[in-house]
């Protein structure tokens, strides 16, 4: 049966996942920090000798670094003890001291009917697949071939064909003992005024729509005839299918989205398949309608900043703006959107055919943040020729931002807009607002980028190649980055207990030194396997791997530069403070270096005054950041030292 989400949340809040999992595993004493609700054990789902199975009470989740098993308390009982989901809920409800929701006979009957509908939809999907490979499916196979959808892709996405016959599917299902009323409830046949029933889908290429578990719940059909007004036809609303709450291909995209931390929403079925063929398997699509709030919530469960990719035409731009307006009131810290527009007149399939996978990826990589698209739309839609119109432009923009529900996000948007308005209305442009889209490959002929025509600089206005001072700045930044990489690694080598606190940050940092990047991988692998978690033991393990000379060099450099907080003798609080500060400074440096390179490339390709100002702005930021240091109150006290700066 289906349980109210609030009831399941009550169970999760009352029953710690560690108490459920702890009955089946033995916690590793070295890695586990029970006081913080952080537990490690050997995975109960696959054989291993070193603990790589992580349980976190705060998130209510488990995850194995080895076999990738993951889930919550309900998933654990279902997958480890073989309980059905209702049985797992009932057991945990008793443990939580909660009464089970009352189940009526109508509820039981409804669940039985839903199970029967799943069976009908699966039979139908297999029928359409078989028809595609039959003699009647020849024209459909030709259409798919013209779209470069190979037999392997057809099989992978379970594509099919609905014959041009009013009774084909109905007769097939009737032969399986399925009543016409059930066919109609599943949305597969239409019952006319004369009570006769006929197939809803005819002469169409069929795209099965699945729920997050991979069960077929509906279909989308692309007509082959030219004279039919509705090119695409979706299943109607049914007990299984509510199109505003479903995303096409979500079941297949979840894994890649989890691995990459990214998800892409495109406009249609073939667009999703094109993205998949281009190597972007984390692609989904709404079902023929504008993005809904429920679908946006699904995207945010997969990634904090989903990318919405729209066709490069007026309709695509309009769809992008609708999505922006939908998302604006729902923004919260860490959750936003990025927008990518394809070249004008092209969808992902067109671009893939014309220019290949790299061009498709370039469009996605060049996606702009919501704040930038909001600003560009406001510029395009407002006349600022007089003081009064400027005032109206500013007022309308602020009214839009006031729709944001989260006060912290709203505050930062207002500050961002204030800077942009100062740049726009008379102050010397700093280029700060342009930083958001730097460091990314340009989308070919991006409609967002082409809405304005900045003044081209004259040949004598174009600056000369970087001066010796700028080259020295770049060299200094690179040297500083490598120094911080060394300091980060030395901190976790001498204080490996901090690695688990900062594992995500350390593992995802962008390193400039290949040698140090390789050392980082060794350290993380050792931690994941639970090997030698004390500092001395970890050093022995790394030395046996041939890294002893490198470790000695790191220690010598730290002593020479008086980086005392990296040593094993430093208090853990000081080491933690130093490590976190190094991570923050390193991220900022890498971001600025990337922005500088992107600004140089942008100016080289398009030498406008706007791009020149943007380039200088990044140079100034990088120059001011080079050699920066932070004075932190209390730093050094735990180690018996006076307050010190972290550079």
Which range is least confidently modeled, 21-30, 318-327, 389-398, 417-426?
Answer: 417-426
Mind listing the pLDDT tens digit for each residue in 388-429? Answer: 999 999 999 999 999 999 999 999 999 999 999 988 886 433
- Sorted by where each starts, the structural domains of the chain and their CATH numbers stand as 5-96 (3.90.580.10), 105-241 (3.90.980.10), 244-452 (3.40.1360.10), 468-646 (1.10.860)
Q: Is 512 strand, coil or helix? A: coil
Instruction: Calculate mean pLDDT across residues 473-484.
Output: 56
Question: What is the mean pLDDT of the segment spanning 31-43?
Answer: 88
* pTM beyond cutoff 0.75: no
Side-chain-side CA neighbours of 309 within 13 Å: the count stands at 32
Lowest-confidence range among 72-86, 393-407, 532-546, 549-563?
532-546
Q: What is the pLDDT of residues 103-120, one digit of tens each?
A: 666 666 666 666 688 999
Residue 425 is encoded by which pair of tokens?
Answer: 């209305």
288 or 47, higher pLDDT: 47
Residue 143 φ/ψ region, left for φ over 0, alpha for ψ in the -120 to 50 degree band, beta for the rest:
alpha
Q: What is the pLDDT of residue 373?
A: 93
CA 546, distance to chain mean position in Å, is 37
Q: With pLDDT > 70 as the criterion, what percentage of the chain qualifies?
A: 83
pLDDT band at residue 264 using 50, 70 and 90 as cut-offs: very high
Q: What pLDDT score was predicted for residue 623?
A: 63
Q: State residue 108's pLDDT score.
A: 60
Cα 293 vs. chain centroid, distance in angstroms?
17
pLDDT at res. 101: 81
- Of 194-203, 242-251, 436-445, the poorest mean pLDDT is in 436-445
Instruction: Among 179-188, 229-238, 347-356, 547-556, name the one with the lowest average pLDDT.
Output: 547-556
Distance CA 458, CA 621 (A): 26
Q: Given this model, what pLDDT does residue 81 score?
A: 81
Q: 530 pLDDT exceeds 70? A: no
Average pLDDT of the residues in 238-244 = 91
* CA–CA distance, 447 with 316 (Å, rounded to integer): 10
pLDDT higher than threshold 90 for residue 183? yes
């Amino acid at each position: 049966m289906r349980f109210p989400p609030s009831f399941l949340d009550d169970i999760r809040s009352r029953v710690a996942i560690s108490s459920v999992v702890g009955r089946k595993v033995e916690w590793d004493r070295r890695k586990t920090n029970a006081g913080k609700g952080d537990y490690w054990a050997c995975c109960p789902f696959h054989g291993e000798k070193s603990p790589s199975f992580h349980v976190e009470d705060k998130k209510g989740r488990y995850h194995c670094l080895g076999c990738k098993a993951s889930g919550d308390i309900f998933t654990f009982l279902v997958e480890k003890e073989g309980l059905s989901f209702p049985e797992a809920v009932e057991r945990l409800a008793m443990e939580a001291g909660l009464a089970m929701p009352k189940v009526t006979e109508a509820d039981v009957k409804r669940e039985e009917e839903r199970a029967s509908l799943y069976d009908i939809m699966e039979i139908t999907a297999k029928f359409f697949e078989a028809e595609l490979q039959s003699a009647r499916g020849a024209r459909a196979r030709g259409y798919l071939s013209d779209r470069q959808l190979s037999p392997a892709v057809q099989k992978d996405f379970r594509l099919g064909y609905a014959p041009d016959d009013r009774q084909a599917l109905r007769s097939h299902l009737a032969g399986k003992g399925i009543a016409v009323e059930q066919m109609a409830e599943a949305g597969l046949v239409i019952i006319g005024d004369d009570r006769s029933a006929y197939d809803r889908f005819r002469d169409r290429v069929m795209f099965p729509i699945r729920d997050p578990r991979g069960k077929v719940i509906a279909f989308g059909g692309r007509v082959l005839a030219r004279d039919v007004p509705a090119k695409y036809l979706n299943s109607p609303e049914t007990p299984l299918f509510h199109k505003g709450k479903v995303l096409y291909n979500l079941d297949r995209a979840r894994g890649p989205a989890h691995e990459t931390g990214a998800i892409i929403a495109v406009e249609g079925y073939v667009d999703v398949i094109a993205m998949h063929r281009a190597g972007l398997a984390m692609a989904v699509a709404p079902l023929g309608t504008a993005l809904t709030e429920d679908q946006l919530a699904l995207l945010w469960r997969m990634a904090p900043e989903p990318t919405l990719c729209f066709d490069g035409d007026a309709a695509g731009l309009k769809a992008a703006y609708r999505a922006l307006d939908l998302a604006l009131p729902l923004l919260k810290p860490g959750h936003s959107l990025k927008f990518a527009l394809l070249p004008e007149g092209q969808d992902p399939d067109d671009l893939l055919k014309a220019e290949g996978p790299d061009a498709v990826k370039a469009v996605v990589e060049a996606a702009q943040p919501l704040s930038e698209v909001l600003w560009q739309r406001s510029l395009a839609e407002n006349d600022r020729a007089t003081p009064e119109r400027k005032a109206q432009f500013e007022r309308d923009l602020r009214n839009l931002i006031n729709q944001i529900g989260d006060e912290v996000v709203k505050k930062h948007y207002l500050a961002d807009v204030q800077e942009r308005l100062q740049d726009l209305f008379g102050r010397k442009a700093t280029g700060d607002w342009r930083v958001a889209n730097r460091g990314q490959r340009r989308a070919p002929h991006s409609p967002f980028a082409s809405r304005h025509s900045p003044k081209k600089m004259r040949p004598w206005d174009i600056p000369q190649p970087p001066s010796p001072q700028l080259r020295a700045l770049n060299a200094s930044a690179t040297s500083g980055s490598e120094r911080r990489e060394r300091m980060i690694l030395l901190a976790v080598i001498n204080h490996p207990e901090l690695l688990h606190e900062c594992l995500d940050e350390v593992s995802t940092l962008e390193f400039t030194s290949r040698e140090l990047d390789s050392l980082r991988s060794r350290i993380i692998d050792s931690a994941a396997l639970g090997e030698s978690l004390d500092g001395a033991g970890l050093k022995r393990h790394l030395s046996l791997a041939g890294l002893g000379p490198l470790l000695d060099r790191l220690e010598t450099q730290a002593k020479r530069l008086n980086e005392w907080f990296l040593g094993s003798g430093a208090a853990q609080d000081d080491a933690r403070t130093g490590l976190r500060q190094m991570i923050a400074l390193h991220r900022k440096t890498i971001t600025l270096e990337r922005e500088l390179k992107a600004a140089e490339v942008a100016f080289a390709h398009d030498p406008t005054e706007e791009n020149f100002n943007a380039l200088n702005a990044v140079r100034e930021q990088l120059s001011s950041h080079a050699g920066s240091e932070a004075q932190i109150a209390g730093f050094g006290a735990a180690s018996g030292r006076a307050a010190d700066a972290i550079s």
